[in-house]
A = this chain, B = another copy of it.
């Protein structure tokens, strides 16, 4: 059932024991939204647990309260409400689905939301779930501490590519202005998120050597092998290099997840890559999406590039 922001606030106020979770492969928006909402709920006297069925990338270690996030185990968790943030599909929360038996409130901004929850607040015009959480906290007249503001700024800034993606709206900017008024230091957040180990910069040249162009230069790919990844924790941001090349419409990064699986990230200028990702069982936004496929890097690359060419041909004639 789709509900209003007001009903979402009421629902949260009505329950005492609340579990907050978000999608696997966590990003700035899912983590920042979890931490901001739980900081408010805790201050409001709720008993809150933060669960996430994945490792937390070290990059987000600076977010206030991040160590409180637990991974679910086989034990069942009693709760009155399970709040699922920034996930458009129940499968996206992994084992948390089985660990918690409670009515589900889903707060999300993905247009691809499958409407699986008991209660859904969906606003696909928001650049980030963090924008919705800020609106919610303002409606609840919450005290937006510097810690909460830092989490929300990280959520919003990361999901709009630090104000470089098409989802960046005047509201996005105004929300971030309010968060700066609450104590956010934009450059400190940006330094944390941009900071890369020396090895990552050194490896960047190796990864750039894998640059490959297809379909008259409209598709650019890079490939990250397990060897390159050995001393390279994060591949965050590498996809931007093929993306910014003149004439490139679709950038794709292929990354060996393990021997039999590849993680695929896609970025585009005009083409809706969420459809492409969805066709391989993934998801995301029109201009930034991803999926995971079985197969070697070469196999997955051939398959996804062929599908991308087909989509681009469709766009041309459509």
Question: Which chain A residues numbered 215 to 240 have a C-beta less than 8 Å away from chain B?
Answer: 217, 240
Residue A3 interfacial (CB < 8 Å): no
Residues of B within 8 A of A247 (CB): 198
A246, B195: Cβ atoms closer than 8 Å: yes
Contact of A198 among B157, B165, B195, B245 (CB under 8 A): B245
Residues of B within 8 A of A205 (CB): 204-206, 208-209
Contact of A201 among B162, B170, B201, B245 (CB under 8 A): B245
A232 → B minimal CB distance (Å): 13
- C-alpha gap A146/B178 in the complex (Å): 25
Residue A180 interfacial (CB < 8 Å): yes
- Look across to chain B and name the residue whose beta carbon is closest to the beta carbon of A222: B201
A180, B190: Cβ atoms closer than 8 Å: no
Copies of this protein in the assembly total: 2
Q: Is the interface of A mostly helix, strand, loop or mixed?
A: helix
Residues of B within 8 A of A166 (CB): 185-187
A170, B177: Cβ atoms closer than 8 Å: yes
Residue A317 interfacial (CB < 8 Å): no
A200 → B minimal CB distance (Å): 8
Residue A98 interfacial (CB < 8 Å): no
Contact of A181 among B170, B180, B190, B194 (CB under 8 A): B170
Residues of B within 8 A of A185 (CB): 166
Residue A244 interfacial (CB < 8 Å): yes
Known: A201-B211, A201-B245. A169 touches B180 (CB 8 A): yes
Residue A141 interfacial (CB < 8 Å): no
Contact of A244 among B161, B163, B194 (CB under 8 A): B194
- C-alpha gap A171/B174 in the complex (Å): 9
- C-alpha gap A168/B187 in the complex (Å): 7
Residues of B within 8 A of A190 (CB): 161, 163-165
A235 → B minimal CB distance (Å): 15
Residue A269 interfacial (CB < 8 Å): yes
Contact of A196 among B171, B178, B211, B246 (CB under 8 A): B246
A250 → B minimal CB distance (Å): 14
B204, A241: Cβ atoms closer than 8 Å: yes
